[in-house]
Structure 1
Amino acid sequence: MKYAEELNATTLGQLAEGDLDAIWVRGFHSPERCRAVLPRVVAACERSHYTLTADFQSIGTSIGEAAESAAGERRYLDTAAETRDLIRDVIFAGRLSPLDELRLRLDELWPDGATVARHEGRPMLPGIIRRWPAGGHANPHIDQRAIPLLADQHLQRRIGTNVYLEVPPGGSGGHVDFWGRWTDEDEYDSRRRADYGLDRGALGEPHWSCEPTQGDLLMFDAARVHSVRRVDRGARATAACFVGVRAPGQPLVLFA
């Protein structure tokens, strides 16, 4: 894995072109501000109901749920504004969320700017919050581009993006493990587990493991197989989105 420790125009371009696997910025968001929002994060996550797995909590309807059915897609579009406002106005209490801060940064760094993705004129969800309490994990998986809701975006690359609001105590899990890229999405579908993702045991040892700290930003090529290691103690919470890379001359698009 080749990664950079700074987000700038050069590293962003390299990640978008596939010349870099990840960008890991320590302390992107103030740990003090992360800690301040955690009670509201926990309360909102405890009220949430993620339909794809019980392995973690997710606020609102995600792009992954939208990909599962026409009903999920309608629910995603119908609830995007409500979820956006909950995150901005309630959880972050009117202050810039780390993902709003990131979008402003990307808009300045990318030659053609960055904006929230839209589907048939309707804004998509620009960011989401997920929480892994003790015992939570995520199976190895890729985040696919070939789903109906993303077809009109004409994505060339999908960049997974997380800002870490809470992390488990050191050595207690929650690491992000990475394996190789998987570019044939049809073959990936044929090997998926019945629930989601791939069998960790069939992949061998990860190529790279990242253990972020509170406030860190991690951006990575979402076609690279990745997972969240089981949380043994404490909890892991992230503000998350995807950054979509389109053809040259097009702005980056954010969605979650």
Structure 2
Amino acid sequence: MTDHVATKPILSTPTKILELEHLNTASLKKLISGQVLAIRVPEFANATTSARLIQAIDDTATLEHYGHETYEAGRVVQHFYGVHRWGTPFNSTYGKAAGGDAQEKYYADAARMRGLIDSLCAPQKPPIQQLMEQFQALWPQGATAASFQGRPMFCGIIRVMFPETAHLSETVPHVDCLPRTIAELQHQFSANIYLQTPPSGGELIIWDTQAFSYDEVKRFEGAQLPEECLQKPLRIRPRKNELVLINTRRPHAICGFDSGKRVSMQSFIGYTPGEPFYFWC
């Protein structure tokens, strides 16, 4: 694929990237409507909590490749774009048998990781739990951890990137979209709370284009996104302890970096009018 990021993404602009001291209802409405591409909340995470999580990741975490799914000849194919994970993501169940080993592993790991992250963050709440509670307070229908298949899902997976493989995401803009067979969502957002950032590089790139529907995503062959939708890239350089919200049905990518680590706690957030926001990963 062409290196789209080589077009030198411009810095985020106030009209498209909203930076706030605290989330508010008006900002969520702007994200839903597409009026803004991203919301940034600096110093969202408690610094002590972040330090505890980073220490646990360095000392005890078993990191695995975080695959990104594409659809090729009607099959689900997982690609490694340089992101490692602590925890099991729901997309590991895509294309697998209902009630099979992949699903059972996901829900077992979800319960285990919830308990582990809670204990590491205590007496504080995990950053993603704090975010969910803010959504609950701000939105009339509230927010909740998703249970699309009748079982509680995990939210707050740990994503880790290293210099050696971080560049793999840079040349492959992608979108994330929950299959419609799981749940019908009008929009899918993501929250990343950055626990550690590299000294330079590691920018989040988001393209200023319409969010794709699930049907459009499924029609794309592999990682190939329409070239005409990759003309207006904007760049966000995450800061330690910052929250960044984006619509994951818009193309996005991550720039490489030469030193340090890029670590975040992440959750997807589903939106459908008249329903709560659903958190999962």
Q: TM-score, normalised by structure 1?
A: 0.85
Select 2:63's aligned residue among 41, 48, 72: 48
Task: Look up the SS of the partner of 2:82 in the other structure.
Answer: coil
Select 2:146's aligned residue among 106, 109, 117: 117
Q: Is contact 1:9–1:110 with CA below 8 Å preserved after alignment?
A: yes
Matched with 1:178 is 206
Q: Distance in 1 between matches of 2:178 and 2:124?
A: 31
Matched with 2:45 is 29
Q: Is contact 2:85–2:158 with CA below 8 Å preserved after alignment?
A: yes
Matched with 1:84 is 114
Structure 1 segments unaligned to the other structure (5+ residues): none
Q: Distance in 1 between matches of 2:107 and 2:39?
A: 30
Structure 2 segments unaligned to the other structure (5+ residues): 1-14, 68-79
% same residue: 26
CA displacement at 1:120 relative to structure 2: 3.6
Task: Look up the SS of the partner of 1:123 in the other structure.
Answer: coil
Matched with 1:12 is 28
Q: Is contact 2:177–2:249 with CA below 8 Å preserved after alignment?
A: yes
Q: Is contact 1:140–1:200 with CA below 8 Å preserved after alignment?
A: no
Matches for 1:60-209 after TM superposition, within 5 Å: 60-70=87-97, 71=100, 72-90=102-120, 92-137=121-166, 138=169, 139-148=172-181, 150-151=182-183, 154-169=184-199, 171=200, 173-179=201-207, 180-193=209-222, 197-198=223-224, 207-209=233-235
Matched, 1:3 2:26: no
Provide the alpha-carbon RMSD of the alignment. 2.5
Q: TM-score, normalised by structure 2?
A: 0.78
1:19-43, Cα deviation, whole Å (9 max, x unpaired) = 3221111111233432343111233
Q: Distance in 2 between matches of 1:200 and 1:215?
A: 34
Count residues in correspondence: 245
Task: Look up the SS of the partner of 1:122 in the other structure.
Answer: coil
Q: Distance in 2 between matches of 1:101 and 1:184?
A: 29
Higher mean displacement: 105-114 or 181-190:
181-190
Q: Is contact 1:145–1:157 with CA below 8 Å preserved after alignment?
A: no
Change (3 A) 1:30 1:200: farther
